[in-house]
Structure 1
Amino acid sequence: MTIRNLKYLFAPCSVALIGASQTPGTIGRVVAGNLFSAGFKGEIFPVSTEFKTIEGVKTYPDVASLPRAPDLAVIVTPPDTIPEMIAQLGKRGTRAAVVLTDGFTNDTDPHHQELNMAMLAAARPHLFRIVGPSSLGVMVPGIGLNASFGHAPPLSGNLALVAQSGTVLTAVLDWGTSQGIGFSKCVALGEMADGDFGDMLDYLAYDYSTQAILLYIEEITGARKFISAARAVARIKPVIVVKAGRHGENVLAPASHTGFPTGSDAFYDAAFRRTGMLRVKDMQALFNAVQTLAVARRVSGNRLAILTNGRSMGVMATDTLIDRGGQLAVLGPDTLDRFNQILPSAWSHGNPVNIMNDAPGSRYGDALEALANDTGTDAVLVINCPSAVASSTEASNAVINTLQDKISTYNRKLVLTCWIGNESALEARRIFTENRIPTYTTPAEAVRGFMQIVRYHKSQEMLMETPPNIPEVFTPDSATAQKIIDGALAENRSWLTVSEAMAVLAAYAIPVVATHEASSPEAAAGLAETIGGPTALKIVSPDIIHKSDVSGVSLNLETPDVVCKNAAAMLERVRHLRPDAHFQGFTVQPMVHRPHAHELIIGMADDALFGPVLMVGHGGMAVEVIGDKALALPPLNMKLAHEVMARTRVYRLLQGYPGMPGANLDSIALTLVKISQLVCDIADIAELEINPLLADAHGVLVLDARIKLVKAICPAIDRLAIHPYPKELEEILNLPDGQTLLIRPIRPEDEPDFQKIFASLSPEEIRLRFLHPMNTMPHTLAARLTQIDYDREMALVVEGKNKEGATELYGLVQLSADPDKERAEFAILLRGDMTGLGLGPMLLRRIIDYAGSQGIGEVFGDVLSENKSMLKLCRVFGFQVTSDGEDPGNKLVSLKL
């Protein structure tokens, strides 16, 4: 389930507290006090067999005696009672519950496990939603709902807080209250038997009272649902996440990987990066993020101007800024001239702008006004140190007055403040908080807050970037690769031989060095003679990961006789050092001389939660010592491949330096894309490692590879955390006039062609199709329509060739489903010169068929009343056409499937 019936959790009209109590120190007493004192306007039904009244309100002995079914039940009774309680509530018509009781899914007691399954079984027939068990509760300050045993109610605001831990939730709320920061929704998920992070994100994405979302995560369930929900909501509003257990060693290192990280946190980090959420490392950073997001505006870059009355504080802020990847703003000539006019002659004459310890409020105001007009500045940090000759409060009032008087100047400029000290700074911080200006206690915290905003907006820009097209035609021979793998599995082998692994890579157009296998030293000599030049000899054993540990590699062997002697010595050495290792033979390869090449590693491991995870980094024998790698979730395109490469240290070397030409970065990125496609296509690949991958200005070449197999029990697509491009939906149409069209799912790379379709439309056609006039298609909208989540959306395009033979898009049909796939909205867009050719009906038929195959219950859309041709088409396909009660000029069309 996703958001179904969650409205009863967050917006109930009535609440039943089952297990209400008046006994001091009990959870039932605390929850009752919170429920009745928070200002909830709906009905509250206490259920208790002990007390006749709770908080002066009549109690009911059981669920059956309630006067009506409550929208929400809050349950604090013992575990054994809960499955039956859920069943009774479901039969009465209740659709949501918060279970505060401990002792279900995380308990090793088989009885508690059975109780958990029984609780879910009781809920299932009624589509009953459960938060918990072991939940602290749910709080919605805007409606006065405090269904929790938290120690204090939160303030009302626009931040949503979702945490697994009740203690973290109360800590954040307590801190928020002290800072005057309020919340829209607060929920402690507990053990997540039903409701989880994906569900909450889907609900909060379209919750108008929530402007930003804060997550405290220990683990997630349902990786694909979580990532789909996170990607959807992160496009709409900020999502900040703290992930605990960053160093927990709860994932074993894959057997084939010398460079793969061993902790699950690296996989979580890859997932968070892919979604566009902002990750922070600890609670202090989360507190800073809460404060910053609550009041901060957007920034266009990372150039910070620092205004201070104390030189040392400006220096410390600068250090933190540079450490975190920010830049000191370079002040323009006009700004410097202005400062020379308004500041004492001893001012710093640069950034940080030191306006001296005796700066009165007027000096702060004048300097801030000048910085706000500086075109080379993205944000301003104002720092105040306590002084015996100037008032900190006067300085804060001057900042406020300047901002208020110059509001039009500051509508695109972020201002952060840091008033240092305790007693002297309290009033100033209060003033800033009341006026919704970010304020911090130290320069480092202030700079971290600024860089959080920068990172967030950079991640949003990355989500909206149009990826480049693949620089060469890439058509994998997946049938050949699968045949090789099937052959190994038929022989009950879990490892491909090196030559088989190379053949699989070659089937995906990845350049590999010619690799031959020999079963004996004599056979290796024979292969060397065939190669006819210097050769490389390597031991082959699935049990030996590090060949160098047993001196299992010999290079630059000039003659067959030398190869034979080296092979015999290598075999004897391996049998002595690793008598347990299964010897499969040798590989013999021609020596490759690429003096300017870098050694890289590319790998893949199959994580239990996230499925295949890709890795790239600095390769070679010292890969573990260097520890330079970055992870990403497939599928990848060229933009994502370049992004993951850029997170490695070796990336700077790959760009070249004096005496060393840069590597062909596109060829490395393309190799990552091809490996991504391989693991998306073939589910039997459990682990993969290419080490080394040589990369230089001429391209890439694989010198060694290992592939581990596990017979798949489900399709490849099912193990992926992100739904890949659905190639199976591609369809070729041959028209009677001889023209050939391709119908296929849309790709992110299609945005330029999508823009061309829009440009071909007349103003009237734009109004009819988009329901309102638009002169241009904004990049953000075009990116949103082309960079879709195939798990929840679909868009089919029609592609053909023009007279010059170039590929063009003629039109598309889009389908966007709600998270529960109950309803999906459709829209059709055709190029201006392609209407009337039957493309519209063809696309509509295919998207209806697709919706039916996905179990979607209804397809609907909005059509202007004057769009007669579209309304006629909808009626032909059986859509019901009704008037829009809110807009007489609009028609609602819907088709039950």
Structure 2
Amino acid sequence: MSVRNLDSLFNPSSVALIGASATPQTVGAVATRNIFAAGFHGDIYLVNPRRSEIDGHPCFKDVASLPAAPDLAVIATPPDSVPGVISQLGDRGTRAAVVITAGFGEGGSARGKALCDAMLEAAHPHLMRIVGPNCFGLMLPRLDLNASFIHLQPLPGRLAFVAQSGALLATVADWATHRRIGFSHLVSLGDMADVDFGDTLDYLSADSHTRAILLYIESITHARKFMSAARAAARVKPVIVVKAGRYRESATAAASHTGAMAGSDAVYEAAFKRAGILRVNDLEALFDAVSTLGLMQPVAGDRLAIVTNGGGIGVMATDTLMYKQGTLARFSENTVERLNQILPPTWSHGNPVDVIGDATPQRYVDALLAIMDDRGVDAVLAMNCPTAIGSGTETARAVLDAIKARSSNARRCGLLTCWIGEGPGEAARKMFIEQGIPSYETPTKAVRGFMQMVRYRHSQDMLMEVPANIPEAFSPDRKAVRDLIDVVLAQGRDWLLETEAKAVLGSYGIDVVPTTTAETPEEAADIASKMTGPYVLKVLSKEILHKSDAGGVALDLETPGAVAERAAWMKEHFGLTAADGSALQFSVQPMIEKAHAQELIVGMHVDLQFGPVLLFGHGGTATEIIGDRCLALPPLNMKLAREMIDGTRISRLLAGYRGVPGADLEEIAAALLKVSQLVCDFAEIVELDINPLLADPRGVLALDARIRIQPAEGPANRRLAICPYPVELEQTIRLADGQQLLLRPIRPEDEPAFQRLFASLPLETIRLRFLHVMKMLPKALVCRLTQIDYDREMALVLTEGDGRTDGNLYGIVRFSADPDIEKAEFAILLGDEKTGLGLGPMLMRRIIDYARSRGIRRIFGEVLSDNRSMLALCKALGFSRRSVPGDPGVMEVTLDL
């Protein structure tokens, strides 16, 4: 489930409290008092079998006695009674419940777990949604509803706060109320037996009363649902998260370098980044971020200028900016000259700009406006500390007047303020906030707010970024890898030998150093004699994973005789046979020495929540000590792969330095993309390390590799948190004239071709397809149409037979399903070049068939009444149609599947 029946939860017209009480200091008593004190205007029903009334409000003995079915039930009865209460409510027609009661499996109780299962089984036939159990309840200030046992009534506002911790929810409600911060929703999810973060994100993203969504997360359930919901929500409003457990170790020990380096918090960080969510470290930063994102217009870049009447606070702000890896803006010569004319000769002559402590409001404003006009400045932090000469309040008022009077044609430049101190400082901050300008108490908070805006802008840009194509044709040999994995599994092994692992990489287009297996020291020497020395000798054994640490790797062996001698030593050192009786083997390869090459690591391990996670970073034997790594969720494209590279310290070396040429970054990114595809293709792969992967100006070369496998059930993409490109939907289409086209799912890289298709359409075709005339499509819209969530949407495109993403698109058909995957809206666009060939009906049948295969029950769309050809096609396909209420020029067509 997702948003199904959540409207009964978050917008109820009637509420029943099951377990209402008059006994002081009980949950039922507090909940009863809260629900009446908040002033809810709908019907309120109290249920208590032993009382006829509580505080003058009538009580009913059970659910069956209620005069009507409540939209929402709040349950605070003993755990053994809850499944029966849920069943009774479902029979009456209630579709949402909040279970405050604990005792449903916390701490591993088998009895509690059985009760939880029974509760969900009772709810299932009625599609009833349950928040909890073991939660504090929920508060909807817009409806004056406090269905919780939290001690206060929060203010109404446009922030939604969703938390696993009820105690934290109460703390935030108290903290925010004293600061006059209001909410649209406060939700305590508790144990998340049913409603979870994915569900609430889906609902709140479409809620017109919510401007921003705040989350407190300890863990998530249903990673794919969460990622789909989070990515969709982050496109339309800020989503800001505090994640607890930042330094907790991963729950699963792993034998690979990747598993050892990828702790659970780092995986959450990668997931939040991929979803476009802004992560902050604490509650104070959470609300500072809300203030910044809510008041400040988006900034174009990260170049910050600082203007202050106190040099010390300017230095503090600069230190914070540098610590957070921000950019101090550089002024143009024209700006410096303007400031020279405005300010005393003793001004700082640089950024930060010290206007001197005796600055008048006019001097301050003149300097601020000069800086805001500089094209090298993206935002200005205006700071003021109290002095005996100038009035901070008058300066604040002058700044506000100047900003209001600033021409609408003036260049856009972000503005943040920091008026320090109580009294006048607090009054000034209030003035700024009332006029929509973020204001902070300290320089550190102000710079943090700016950097939050920079990070948020970057995450939004990433959601709209058009990725580059892979720089070479990429056609992996999936059959070869499938055959090899099947053989290894049949032998009962879980780790591939080095030679096998390299064969897998080679099948996916990753260059590997030639490596040959030897059974004896003599054979190893013979193999070496056919290579150019020096040589590398390694022991081959499924039991020796970290070969270097165990003495199983010998480098720079000069002669074949040295290879034989070292192999004999390894044979004696490790024993003649392995524990399972198999003979010890060796691998022989040439020693690769590349000037200016960097050692990298590329890896993958399976996280308990998010499934496969990719890793990139500084490689070599000290990779875990150096700890330079970046994580990402597959699938990748070239843009995301470059983001991984840029997220490491070694990226600065890869770019080149002090006469050392840079590595081929495109080939490194391509290697990451190929590993990502391998992981998406084979569910059996559970750990992978390429270490080291040598990178230099000529490309990349894998020197060593390890892969662990295990039997898997179901398709490979099922374990991924983000649904990958569904290659199985690709299909060749042959036209009557012999031309061959490819029907395939749309890719983000199709954005330029989509724009070309739209530009080729006559205005009348655009009107018929988009219901109104548009001369061009906004970039954000095109990105949204090409960067789809394959788990909830599908768009099939007709393109050249080779499927190149830089080729032409001839037609597109799509549907977008609701979060419950029950109904979906379709749209179709066919270029005039391919009309009259029967492609329109073919595209419609394909998307209908796919929607039916996904379990979608209904597909619908809107068609202009004068679009006779489309209406005729829909009729032929069995669609019903009706006029859209209030718009007789539009017909809604519907097909039940």
TM-score for the superposition, normalised by structure 2: 0.96
Question: Partner amino acid for 1:589?
Answer: Q
Q: What is aligned with 2:826? A: 826
Q: What is aligned with 2:477? A: 477
The answer to whether 1:453 aligns with 2:453 is yes
* Shift in alpha-carbon separation, 1:487–1:792, aligned structure 2, 3 A: same
SS at match of 1:2: coil
User: Could you list the per-position Cα deviations for residues 771-811 of structure 1 after superposition, in whole angstroms to 9, with x for gaps in the alignment?
Assistant: 12211111111111111110000000111269x99942111
Matches of 1:511 and 1:442 in 2, distance apart? 53
- Of 575-584 and 112-121, the range deviating more from structure 2: 575-584
Q: What is aligned with 1:516? A: 516
User: Could you list the per-position Cα deviations for residues 386-420 of structure 1 after superposition, in whole angstroms to 9, with x for gaps in the alignment?
Assistant: 22223333333333333334483689433222122
Contact 2:481 2:507 in 1 (8 A): yes
Contact 2:607 2:613 in 1 (8 A): yes
* Shift in alpha-carbon separation, 1:801–1:540, aligned structure 2, 3 A: closer
SS at match of 2:530: helix
* Shift in alpha-carbon separation, 1:282–1:610, aligned structure 2, 3 A: same
The answer to whether 1:764 aligns with 2:764 is yes
Question: Partner amino acid for 1:669?
Answer: A
Q: CA deviation at 1:184?
A: 1.4
Contact 2:753 2:805 in 1 (8 A): no
* Shift in alpha-carbon separation, 1:784–1:595, aligned structure 2, 3 A: same
Question: Partner amino acid for 2:368?
Answer: L
Q: What is aligned with 2:740? A: 740
SS at match of 1:728: helix
Q: CA deviation at 1:460?
A: 0.5
Q: Which runs of 5+ in 1 are unaligned?
A: none
Q: What is aligned with 1:188? A: 188
Q: What is aligned with 2:66? A: 66
* Shift in alpha-carbon separation, 1:146–1:370, aligned structure 2, 3 A: farther
Contact 2:576 2:583 in 1 (8 A): no
User: Could you list the per-position Cα deviations for residues 606-662 of structure 1 after superposition, in whole angstroms to 9, with x for gaps in the alignment?
Assistant: 122211111111111111111111111111111111111111111111111123211
Question: Partner amino acid for 2:611?
Answer: G
- Of 763-772 and 341-350, the range deviating more from structure 2: 341-350
Q: What is aligned with 2:398? A: 398
Q: What is aligned with 1:26? A: 26
Q: CA deviation at 1:683?
A: 1.1
* Shift in alpha-carbon separation, 1:225–1:258, aligned structure 2, 3 A: closer
Q: What is aligned with 2:814? A: 814
Q: Map of 1:419-818 to 2, 5 A cutoff?
A: 419-531=419-531, 533-575=533-575, 584-800=584-800, 807-818=807-818
* Shift in alpha-carbon separation, 1:407–1:429, aligned structure 2, 3 A: farther
The answer to whether 1:103 aligns with 2:103 is yes
Matches of 1:260 and 1:249 in 2, distance apart? 10
* Shift in alpha-carbon separation, 1:871–1:850, aligned structure 2, 3 A: same
Matches of 2:707 and 2:511 in 1, distance apart? 16
Q: What is aligned with 2:282? A: 282
Question: Partner amino acid for 2:82?
Answer: I
User: Could you list the per-position Cα deviations for residues 563-614 of structure 1 after superposition, in whole angstroms to 9, with x for gaps in the alignment?
Assistant: 1111112233345999999873211112223222111111111122211111
Q: What is aligned with 1:88? A: 88
Q: What is aligned with 1:841? A: 841
Matches of 1:580 and 1:251 in 2, distance apart? 29
User: Could you list the per-position Cα deviations for residues 112-161 of structure 1 after superposition, in whole angstroms to 9, with x for gaps in the alignment?
Assistant: 11111111111000000001112111112112121112222222221111
Q: What is aligned with 2:7? A: 7
Contact 2:576 2:584 in 1 (8 A): no
Q: Which runs of 5+ in 2 are unaligned?
A: none
Question: Partner amino acid for 1:370?
Answer: A
Contact 1:259 1:629 in 2 (8 A): no
Alignment length, in residue pairs?
A: 896
Matches of 2:261 and 2:593 in 1, distance apart? 31
Contact 1:19 1:47 in 2 (8 A): yes
Question: Partner amino acid for 1:584?
Answer: L
Contact 2:105 2:111 in 1 (8 A): no
Question: Partner amino acid for 2:175?
Answer: W
Contact 1:250 1:263 in 2 (8 A): yes
User: Could you list the per-position Cα deviations for residues 676-725 of structure 1 after superposition, in whole angstroms to 9, with x for gaps in the alignment?
Assistant: 11111111111111111111111111111111111112221111111111
Question: Partner amino acid for 1:827?
Answer: A
Contact 2:748 2:787 in 1 (8 A): yes
Matches of 1:625 and 1:325 in 2, distance apart? 23
Contact 1:105 1:191 in 2 (8 A): no
SS at match of 1:796: strand
Contact 2:161 2:215 in 1 (8 A): yes
User: Could you list the per-position Cα deviations for residues 233-260 of structure 1 after superposition, in whole angstroms to 9, with x for gaps in the alignment?
Assistant: 1111111111100111242342122674
Question: Partner amino acid for 2:844?
Answer: L
SS at match of 1:828: strand
Contact 1:602 1:693 in 2 (8 A): yes
Q: CA deviation at 1:332?
A: 3.7
Q: CA deviation at 1:479?
A: 0.6
- Of 539-548 and 696-705, the range deviating more from structure 2: 539-548
Contact 1:360 1:394 in 2 (8 A): no
Q: What is aligned with 1:200? A: 200
User: Could you list the per-position Cα deviations for residues 257-306 of structure 1 after superposition, in whole angstroms to 9, with x for gaps in the alignment?
Assistant: 26742521111111111111111122232132132233222111112221
Question: Partner amino acid for 1:512?
Answer: V
Matches of 2:259 and 2:817 in 1, distance apart? 40
Q: What is aligned with 2:160? A: 160
Matches of 1:557 and 1:584 in 2, distance apart? 20
SS at match of 1:635: coil
* Shift in alpha-carbon separation, 1:344–1:46, aligned structure 2, 3 A: farther
- Of 764-773 and 462-471, the range deviating more from structure 2: 764-773
Q: What is aligned with 1:384? A: 384
Matches of 1:591 and 1:710 in 2, distance apart? 32
- Of 164-173 and 451-460, the range deviating more from structure 2: 164-173
Contact 1:159 1:294 in 2 (8 A): no
- Of 824-833 and 419-428, the range deviating more from structure 2: 419-428
SS at match of 2:36: helix
Question: Partner amino acid for 2:476?
Answer: P
Matches of 1:361 and 1:154 in 2, distance apart? 39
TM-score for the superposition, normalised by structure 1: 0.96
Matches of 1:342 and 1:530 in 2, distance apart? 78
- Of 200-209 and 100-109, the range deviating more from structure 2: 100-109
Matches of 1:607 and 1:364 in 2, distance apart? 54
SS at match of 1:59: strand
- Of 552-561 and 741-750, the range deviating more from structure 2: 552-561
Matches of 1:37 and 1:410 in 2, distance apart? 51
Q: CA deviation at 1:423?
A: 4.1
**Identical-residue share of aligned pairs (%):** 58
Matches of 1:35 and 1:298 in 2, distance apart? 40
* Shift in alpha-carbon separation, 1:362–1:558, aligned structure 2, 3 A: closer
Matches of 2:577 and 2:740 in 1, distance apart? 63
Q: What is aligned with 1:131? A: 131
Question: Partner amino acid for 1:72?
Answer: L
Q: What is aligned with 1:852? A: 852
Contact 1:259 1:627 in 2 (8 A): no
Q: CA deviation at 1:424?
A: 4.5
C-alpha root-mean-square deviation of aligned residues, in Å?
2.2
SS at match of 1:810: strand
* Shift in alpha-carbon separation, 1:343–1:528, aligned structure 2, 3 A: closer
SS at match of 1:733: strand
Question: Partner amino acid for 2:388?
Answer: A
Contact 1:884 1:892 in 2 (8 A): yes
Question: Partner amino acid for 1:796?
Answer: L
Matches of 2:509 and 2:262 in 1, distance apart? 30
Contact 1:372 1:409 in 2 (8 A): no
Matches of 1:273 and 1:145 in 2, distance apart? 34
